[in-house]
Amino acid sequence: MAGANSLGEVAQNLATLNNTIQQELADLTIGAIPGYTDINAGWTLQSGYLVFFMQAGFAMLCAGAVRAKNAKNIILLNLLDACLGSMCWYITGFAFAFGDPTAADDGTYAWYSPFIGHRFFAMNQLPRTSYVTWFFQFTFAATGATIVSGAVAERCRFESYLLYEMMLVSLVYPVVAHWVWSPFGWLSAGRNTATVSGSYLLFSGSGVYDFAGDGPVHMVGGFASLAGAWILGPRLGRFDAAGNPIDMPGHNASLNLLGVFVLWFGWYGFNPGSTNAIVGSAVGYSKISAAIAVNTTVAAAAACLSTLFLTMAINYFTSGVIVWDLIIAGNGALGGLVAITGPCAFVQTWAAIIIGLFAGGVYIIASRVNLNLLKIDDPLDAIAVHAGCAVWGMIAGAAFADLGMVEDYYGASPYGEDTTREYGFIMGGGGKLLGAHLVYIICIAAWVLGIMGPYFFILKRLGIFRVSPEVETAGLDASYHGGHAYPHEVTGKGQAYKNEAFDKEENGLTAAKVQMQIDMALGKLKEELTHPSDKSE
């Protein structure tokens, strides 16, 4: 009997221990552990550091894609995207994007707007717990602003670019971010249920599934690039008298591809980091982030391959020459990264590959339409990569969104137990999600073009948008930035020649030395002829 009692006690103790372990695991799963907020903050901050490092990628990408006489100018623009952008984000940007009310003691909310935020200007009264969000979202705003620098490169006045930067980061980007990412935004799929109710809780019954910023970052930057490049006009010599494009390659393909790799690396903060947490989900934010990282990788790879082979085939059938184009392949990879940015958390891996494959074709078509039909000169193909592939990404998200993955992130449908979240029409869902995404695309295009188009036009009418033909011909580096980026200037066709002043100085010294040696030799010869040496005696 004593043995039986002992066994019973052991079994009871084991059961108690098992329950304790299960509870601890459950607590770990839902994030109820000491310091889990700090863990999530650390994850988000480190992701933000990666996104900020994308500025270096854009700088290298742009520098390699322009002619050497404009390299310092384009890199400085990228630097100011971060510096001036942070000031604009501090003053109004964050407030317009995320200046939402907080719950009062009775659970009610003060006035809120589904269109724009209205508090925390200059971070006034912003809780320190929100500083993580401030920083992470700033890196996104700066990234969106940087996109335009490539589209207006080599002919935009420095001052006008600063004015553009202020408008985009202070107002244009934040409003779109509020629409889709604020819990009070009219297009948000995660709208705060304490503020609205009934059939209008989510737009089109679904809201917009834009996980990491196809809209606020890439469509905003891409459509602003479209307005800027079109109103600014093409570079001198980009088209002949008949309107046919003339090739105007950048000066350094190596820098360009380095930029692609740095951007790709930064995208692992951009997409997986947009979970804003690594613990605290019943499903597990780590699992969601891992799936996003995989989708980001395969979409970029598939887009790069499809772009490379499609371009090779087009060149072969049109000219009979096989060309494996490095620059086009790099842009294709970026197009795949852009396309997967919106749906990265909601599609299966096989769907991410399809999205990437088609992104390559979308990029090629958009690039050729811009250049050959619309006669828009975009040195970095920013319009095709960012606007074109972002639009495709949002449409693809509405087609391939997986129900399980949608509910893993957003949770169950807010309309009751008998309903589900909307999901992709190819996956068996209805068309509501596609409708929401199409409205999203149209509204962003109207908002960005409606503001930036007139804004750029006013700058042009004031005569401060474009540099003079003389400055453009001489190069912006020599005209505005104290000289060329390299010790020896490089022409637009990549043939190096020495700086004129240095060339004269060097040649002058060399000629003098040679002449002196000749004079000395002639003097010795004359002396020998006049006064023969006594050695012969």
Give residue 14's pLDDT: 67
Average pLDDT score over residue span 439-462: 97
pLDDT digits (tens, 9 = 90+) for 105-124: 445 556 678 899 998 999 99
* Mean of all residue pLDDT scores within the chain: 86
- What is the DSSP code (8-state) at residue 401? -
- pLDDT for 27 beyond 50: no
pTM of the predicted model, to two decimals? 0.84
Give residue 504's pLDDT: 40
Give residue 488's pLDDT: 62
Name the band, by pLDDT with cuts 50, 70 and 90, for residue 496: very low
- pLDDT for 76 beyond 70: yes
Give residue 345's pLDDT: 96
Please, are residues 341 and 147 in contact by the beta-carbon 8 Å criterion?
no
Please, are residues 397 and 207 in contact by the beta-carbon 8 Å criterion?
no
pLDDT digits (tens, 9 = 90+) for 155-169: 999 999 999 999 999
Name the band, by pLDDT with cuts 50, 70 and 90, for residue 490: very low
Phi, psi angles (nearest 5°) of residue 50:
-65, -45
Picking from 437, 347, 345, the residue whose alpha carbon sits closest to that of residue 394 is: 437
Name the band, by pLDDT with cuts 50, 70 and 90, for residue 215: very high
C-alpha 35/C-alpha 259 separation (Å) is: 37
Higher pLDDT pick, 508 / 277: 277
- Looking at 106-219, list the stretches that DSSP marks H as alpha helix, in order from N- to C-terminal side: 131-151, 158-167, 173-181
Average pLDDT score over residue span 501-524: 51
C-alpha 373/C-alpha 240 separation (Å) is: 14
Higher pLDDT pick, 253 / 22: 253
pLDDT digits (tens, 9 = 90+) for 339-364: 999 999 999 999 999 999 999 999 99
Higher pLDDT pick, 510 / 148: 148
Higher pLDDT pick, 111 / 496: 111
Into which CATH architecture does domain 35-480 fall? Orthogonal Bundle (1.10)
- Sorted by sequence, the CB contacts under 8 Å of residue 382 that are 6+ apart come out as 147, 148, 150, 151, 221, 222, 225
Give residue 19's pLDDT: 62
Higher pLDDT pick, 261 / 509: 261
The residues spanned by each domain of the chain are: 35-480, 500-536
Higher pLDDT pick, 499 / 300: 300
